Amino acid sequence: MQPTDGPLTFEELQLATRNRGMPLEALRYDITPVGLHYLLIHFDIPRIDVRDWRLTISDFNEPVALAYDEIRALPRTTLPVTMECAGNGRARLHPRPLSNPWLNEAIGTAEWSGTSLWPILERAGLPRDTAEIVFRGADPGIQGGVEHFYERSLTPAEVQRPEVLLAYEMNGRPLEPQHGFPVRLIVPGWYGMTSVKWLTSIRTVTVPFTGYQQTPAYHFTGSEDEEGEPVQRIRPRALMVPPGVPDYFSRHRFLDASRVAVFGRAWSGSAEVTKVELGIDGVWSEATLGESVGQFAWRSWSFAWDATPGEHVLSCRATDAAGAVQPIEQPWNYQGMGNNSVQTVAVTVR
Amino acid sequence: MQPTDGPLTFEELQLATRNRGMPLEALRYDITPVGLHYLLIHFDIPRIDVRDWRLTISDFNEPVALAYDEIRALPRTTLPVTMECAGNGRARLHPRPLSNPWLNEAIGTAEWSGTSLWPILERAGLPRDTAEIVFRGADPGIQGGVEHFYERSLTPAEVQRPEVLLAYEMNGRPLEPQHGFPVRLIVPGWYGMTSVKWLTSIRTVTVPFTGYQQTPAYHFTGSEDEEGEPVQRIRPRALMVPPGVPDYFSRHRFLDASRVAVFGRAWSGSAEVTKVELGIDGVWSEATLGESVGQFAWRSWSFAWDATPGEHVLSCRATDAAGAVQPIEQPWNYQGMGNNSVQTVAVTVR
């Protein structure tokens, strides 16, 4: 299916009614409630009986199969992590790549508890000729004409990061089924497709993995034929809680003239966010940064806006310590990946 | 905005990415996990500090204001309740009324804990000239050009039902913000618009309430000008877990030839579901009914289907004890309310 400037398709609607965005007023919570975190599920939520479930670690020097309770008995780490779908912003591209039609809301920050992955793999013994490690989920389906289980790979260097977790709790409770029960991968800093849900196996491969979800999917590419560059770390983004009150259908915002505290969050998967700017009718001013919720989680920002009567357009943009800054307009790509162009909110001040 | 046979609008997409359907494979759970229950939020999720929050009961003989802990200290009831959005099925109507574009998924069954409303109102003393009782939520916004807080009314006879709850827990935990924290109304058997979230006040009125969400909204009507009949109890509906595995984009289903247990749920707000039929390529057969999860909650059904190679279309329909049966095609209405026409699922058997 080629990208289109045509109207939204029935297939996109089906995806939008299944998958779930975070309403932007939920930016106010440091930790997103479970039922407000974004969800993107390629196939179906699988049915897993935890008594039968094992995580098999194969093609290692000493293969092993771990039960749920065995994983829970390992040293426990809890990390707040901001996660974002690589397709966030897709439906704002022209032409529009055909997949889940996200606008801005495919985000969330949860407190994930689990155990570091690397000590387990180290114990199993990484074969010397390992090129990558492949993570398989329990969810089968068809995409791009290929029937497969959802699978993604990482290099040994990536999985050695201590913050890469086998997670079994979200916000202090066992994972709900849609978030990967019983155990999922969490890879802080990377877009969400990397954090494989419903893990069933981890294996090594001696050549780079080319399963569908690794290649061709999740690449920055200019066309169907070009391979392009893999999508990996989350690009910087700032979002604001739309101020005032909404009109139900248009979501247009209305507020009374006053000094308004515009509030939002900003994050980047590559480096700390060092600056957030609020644009008011095209004039940018620096916002005040709050603390980060954690090393791998968003930070708050705010700006006191003297809202005067009339029609206004607010925007916000983040810059990170690596110098990356959100673009006003996004260079287009064929799959609609990583569109972190700035959010704009139209407001009528009365 | 007039109903349209045109393509999906940007406004409908904005609503679909905010609001949340239940992926139909979640029909397998007796009780829907919190993060999979449908959500329809007219305005924004309000920010409420429970320490400042009071539920004011005014225009009664002895007005009262109750704090959260006071409500929690009252006798506790727990009820599984199937809830459905009155607009479920809207986007399958032709022409399509413009609002949240639900297909089939605006449903969920939660276990709500709270206290019966009527003893509280009885203690406050219902004035003799009470026509209706009005419930206000903390969420302001604009709809149909009218700025208001979300409000709905019920007659004294309705609120005397012991199963009408002030609910403060969902599935055994305090309400998440999007489900009405700290306290919401639960009206079993009625469509979800009645179960006002983020309750702040309950008051009596001496003439039938005509706030926007009561009239003109939520009416079965043939045009913008006609008043029509109020939407109240949930019409019967059966839904199935789509069998087999999906194609990501089209959601078309594939499965291998075999005997397949087709599974689903059925419910009605007026009377018990007494029959569910599965249609296979237009031929209807009776499914086996399971137990109800509760008096006000869905019941399971199943059917053993000998799936033979080829293209098939599955449908399901429920009949309730009051004799209501789901239609194959729905008589159209202007607001897109109560469209319980049967679900169809196309399956390729290999």
Give me the half-sphere count of Cα atoms (radius 13 Å) on the Cβ side of residue B183.
26
SS3 B253: strand
Chain A contacts of B178, Cβ < 8 Å? 23, 26, 33, 35-36
Nearest to B245 among A20, A102, A141 (CB): A141
Is residue A69 packed enough to be buried (19+ CB in 10 Å), middle (13-18) or exposed (0-12)? Answer: exposed
B133 close to B156: Cβ distance less than 8 angstroms: yes
Distances in Å between the Cα of A219 and the Cα atoms of A98, A146, A151, A224, A336 are 15, 17, 15, 10, 9
Name the token pair of A222.
Answer: 């200019």
Locus of tokens 């190679």: B309
pLDDT score of B330:
80
pLDDT score of A1:
80
Name the token pair of B296.
Answer: 């006000």
Report the mean per-residue pLDDT for chain A.
Answer: 97
Contact A13 B8 (CB under 8 A): yes
Contact A47 B28 (CB under 8 A): yes
A256 touches chain B (CB under 8 A): no
pLDDT score of B26:
98
Confidence band for B151, pLDDT divided at 50, 70 and 90? very high
Chain B: residue whose CA lies nearest to A42: B248
Rounded-to-integer distance, Cα A279 and Cα A314, Å: 5
Nearest to B177 among A33, A143, A242 (CB): A33
Nearest to A249 among B1, B28, B254 (CB): B1
Q: Which domains does chain A have, with CATH numbers?
A: 10-230 (3.90.420.10), 237-349 (2.60.40.650)
- The amino acid present at B342, given as its one-letter code, is V
A308 touches chain B (CB under 8 A): no
What would the pLDDT profile of B184-203 be if each residue is shown by its tens digit? Answer: 999 999 999 999 999 999 99
Predicted ipTM of the assembly: 0.96
Rounded-to-integer distance, Cα B296 and Cα A31, Å: 33
Chain A contacts of B41, Cβ < 8 Å? 23
B249 touches chain A (CB under 8 A): yes
A7 touches chain B (CB under 8 A): yes
What would the pLDDT profile of A8-61 be if each residue is shown by its tens digit? Answer: 999 999 999 999 999 999 999 999 999 999 999 999 999 999 999 999 999 999
Chain B: residue whose CA lies nearest to A102: B17
Torsion over CA: A147, A151, A152, A155 (sign):
negative
Chain B: residue whose CA lies nearest to A243: B44
Nearest to B104 by CA among B346, B348, B340, B349: B340
Distances in Å between the Cα of B148 and the Cα atoms of A129, B12, B42, B141, B213 are 66, 22, 11, 6, 9
In percent, the amount of chain A with pLDDT more than 70 equals 100
Chain A contacts of B14, Cβ < 8 Å? 103, 251
CB atoms within 10 A of CB A162: 11
Evaluate if residue A178 carries a pLDDT over 90.
yes
- The amino acid present at A106, given as its one-letter code, is A
Nearest to A101 by CA among A231, A186, A223, A6: A6
Confidence band for A330, pLDDT divided at 50, 70 and 90? confident
pLDDT score of B331:
85
Which chain B residues in 166-185 lie under 8 Å from chain A, judged by CB atoms? 176-179
Rounded-to-integer distance, Cα A136 and Cα A133, Å: 10
B187 close to B157: Cβ distance less than 8 angstroms: no
Nearest to A298 by CA among A343, A263, A329: A263
Global confidence as pTM: 0.97
Locus of tokens 């994983």: A71
Locus of tokens 């490690």: A133
Rounded-to-integer distance, Cα B152 and Cα B137, Å: 9
pLDDT score of A281:
98
A75 touches chain B (CB under 8 A): no
Which chain B residues in 109-138 lie under 8 Å from chain A, judged by CB atoms? none
